[in-house]
């Protein structure tokens, strides 16, 4: 019987754009603040983490409002080029879950 190789803990892969989570994989997070803190630690140098509640966006599992967390590629928070957008997450406080969508 073959055993699976142990998961390596190390720097985030380039495929993940330097962020800790792969796109489109839902994961559990207790609070929005915990997610922001985690993203602050793993974001590329010089980038900014910004949170925006979106009233028109609801989690399909529970129909509660979601928050969007955007990691911008510069400290000003102004997007001057599309490639300055590093990652986008959605967070549902009711389900305590997040997903990276970009």
The 10s digit of each residue's pLDDT in 44-90 is 877 889 998 887 888 888 988 899 999 887 666 565 665 678 889 99
Lookup result for tokens 């207790």: 30
Task: Output the pLDDT for position 18.
Answer: 58
8 assigned to some structural domain: no
Report yes or no on 37 lying in a domain. Answer: yes
**41 is in which domain, residue-wise?**
18-100
Residue 76 belongs to a domain:
yes
- Closest by alpha carbon to 72, among 56, 96, 88? 88
Nearest Cα neighbor of 71 from 94, 97, 98, 45 is 45
Q: Would 77 be classed as within a structural domain? A: yes
Is this model's pTM higher than 0.85 or not?
Answer: no
Dihedral sign (CA 33, 37, 39, 43): positive
Number of domains in the chain: 1
Report the percent of the chain where pLDDT is more than 90. 32
């Amino acid at each position: 019987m073959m055993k699976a190789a142990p998961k390596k803990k190390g720097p985030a892969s380039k495929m993940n754009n330097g962020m800790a989570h792969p796109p489109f994989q839902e994961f559990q997070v207790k609070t929005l603040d915990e997610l922001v803190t985690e993203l602050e630690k793993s974001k590329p140098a010089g980038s900014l983490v910004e949170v925006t509640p979106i009233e028109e966006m609801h989690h399909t599992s529970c129909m509660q409002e979601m928050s969007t967390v955007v990691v911008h590629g510069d400290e000003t928070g102004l997007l001057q080029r599309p490639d300055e957008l590093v990652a986008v997450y959605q967070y549902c406080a009711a389900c305590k879950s997040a997903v990276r969508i970009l």
